[in-house]
């Protein structure tokens, strides 16, 4: 068999692996996409040519108190580049910096330090406007009723008290909300803990033992009850405008969508899916996946996005090889606690339902994906091996070594007609099996 060398992203470099070329049915990198080199110019274009809305200058007026929600440190979406453009447009409409605040959409995450504000939003934004950290447990959260699914709507007081609300962030693939961005700038971004937990519990089935809801998956909005519930929460806050960046699978700027919070986000989701969605004829016996290297594989929590999307490419009972450098593998600690929890999947599901959190659910879903596979090999640095063993995955130092072990598994099954899918940017590409 002719061998071909594939370079798998790993941390700040790559790991080579020689694979039989005729067995590799797909080498997924995402679809070709236009790149906008000047994010500031693209942001200005979007603000003045919005989707389903008047231009930002006509949405606000002198005397308005404006609150902007912005992604936190866990989602670096180049806020420091596009936010000054938003502020300038607000100024041009008669709204001075003194009438604008930024609320960090932390969801359930901790707030930023002053140094982290500088890192995420840049010196210009930090100097120009006041920045507040959302606290999902704050005593002054504002109650705005319930969604049709019974989710209590508790919102950040500073955001709720503004005359005009602008939500910002980036459209992305999301393992159970379908897509990130849009309404997520409100829910979970600036929502109360009770709101967040009730909404996210919808990612599980109604019956204990049913595991993850099959309708709350990556790339799906219609019929995804987590996303639809998020939209109801967002509608209660009634944002006046949205600004979201859409990145290519390689992390370059494809476009900025702006305008109506619902319509602009849907446009961004459709455009992202056009770049990320890759049709495949069938799932493979072996999938080799990378999150895409640093910073996407800094820790296992973020790195599991590779597991989530590779799940759509690997057969049940197949072999999954995931390459994640993970210099900070145990961050955040709450995820590490859940992903390494002993006991059965049913035990874990019951524990997640009793004490729901996003890290707990992500850990549970990751464990469910691994349980469907014959073996899951996690390629990582050797100092991570003991921790990886507790997650139920098999730690390996190189992709080449993992492939050698996979070949032994295939030989033990007597399987010679296997096939392979390579996903070098698994966290940002979405394989979809279609009938021939």
Q: What's the distance, Cα to Cα, between the start and end of the chain in Å?
A: 27
Cα angle vertex 109, ends 108, 110, to 5°? 125
Homologous superfamily of domain range 3-30+281-433? LarA, C-terminal domain (3.90.226.30)
Q: Taking the domain 39-274, which CATH number applies? A: 3.40.50.11440
H helices present in 258-343, as ranges: 263-276, 300-310, 333-339
42 phi and psi angles, rounded to 5 deg: -65, -35
What are the domain boundaries of the chain?
A: 3-30+281-433, 39-274
- 155-189 pLDDT, tens digit per residue, is 999 999 999 999 999 999 888 999 999 999 999 99
Supply the pTM of this predicted model: 0.88
> How high does pLDDT run on average in the chain?
95
pLDDT band at 242 (very low <50, low <70, confident <90, very high): very high
Q: What percent of the chain has pLDDT over 90?
A: 90
Give residue 435's pLDDT band: very low, low, confident or very high (50, 70, 90). low
- Which residues in 142-251 belong to E strands, given as ranges? 142-146, 152-155, 164-174, 178-180, 241-247
Least Cα distance to 228 among 264, 190, 266, 271 occurs for 266
Q: How confident is the model at residue 251 (pLDDT cuts 50, 70, 90)?
A: confident
Mean pLDDT of all residues in 257-280: 96
């Amino acid at each position: 068999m002719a061998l071909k060398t594939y370079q798998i992203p790993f941390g700040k470099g790559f790991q080579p692996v020689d694979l039989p070329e005729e067995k590799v049915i797909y080498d997924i990198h995402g679809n070709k996409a236009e790149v906008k080199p000047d994010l500031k110019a693209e942001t200005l274009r979007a603000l003045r040519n919005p989707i389903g809305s008047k231009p930002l200058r006509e949405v606000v007026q002198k005397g308005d108190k404006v609150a902007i929600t912005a992604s936190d440190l866990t989602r670096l979406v180049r806020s420091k580049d596009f936010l000054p453009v938003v502020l300038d447009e607000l100024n041009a409409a008669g709204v001075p910096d003194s009438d604008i605040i930024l609320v960090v959409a932390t969801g359930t995450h901790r707030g930023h330090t002053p140094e982290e504000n500088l890192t995420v939003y840049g010196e210009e934004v930090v100097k120009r406007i006041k920045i507040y950290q959302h606290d999902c447990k704050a005593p002054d959260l504002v109650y705005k009723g319930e969604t049709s699914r019974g989710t209590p709507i508790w919102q950040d007081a500073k955001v709720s008290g503004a005359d005009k609300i602008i939500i910002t962030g980036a459209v992305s693939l999301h393992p159970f909300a379908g897509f990130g961005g849009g309404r997520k700038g409100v829910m979970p971004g600036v929502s109360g803990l009770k709101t967040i937990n009730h909404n996210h519990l919808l990612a599980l089935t109604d019956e204990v033992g049913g595991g993850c809801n099959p309708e709350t998956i990556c790339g799906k909005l219609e019929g995804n009850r987590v996303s639809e519930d998020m939209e109801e929460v967002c509608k209660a806050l009634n944002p006046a405008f949205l600004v979201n960046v859409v990145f290519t699978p390689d992390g370059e700027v494809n476009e900025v969508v702006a305008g109506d919070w619902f319509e602009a986000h849907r446009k961004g989701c459709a455009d992202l899916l056009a770049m990320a969605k890759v049709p495949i004829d069938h799932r493979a016996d072996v999938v080799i996946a990378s999150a895409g290297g640093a910073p996407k594989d800094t820790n296992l929590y973020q790195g599991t996005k590779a597991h989530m999307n590779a799940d759509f490419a690997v057969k049940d009972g197949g072999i999954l090889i995931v390459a994640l450098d993970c210099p900070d593998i145990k961050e955040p600690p709450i995820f590490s606690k859940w992903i390494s929890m002993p006991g059965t999947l049913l035990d874990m599901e019951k524990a997640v339902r009793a004490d729901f959190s996003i890290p707990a659910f992500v850990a549970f879903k990751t464990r469910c994906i691994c349980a469907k596979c014959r073996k899951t090999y996690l390629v990582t640095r050797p100092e991570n091996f003991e921790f990886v063993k507790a997650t139920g995955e098999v730690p390996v130092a190189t992709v080449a070594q993992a492939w050698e072990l996979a070949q032994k598994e295939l030989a033990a099954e007597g399987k010679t007609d296997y096939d392979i899918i390579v996903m070098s940017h698994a966290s940002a590409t979405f394989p979809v099996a279609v009938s021939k």
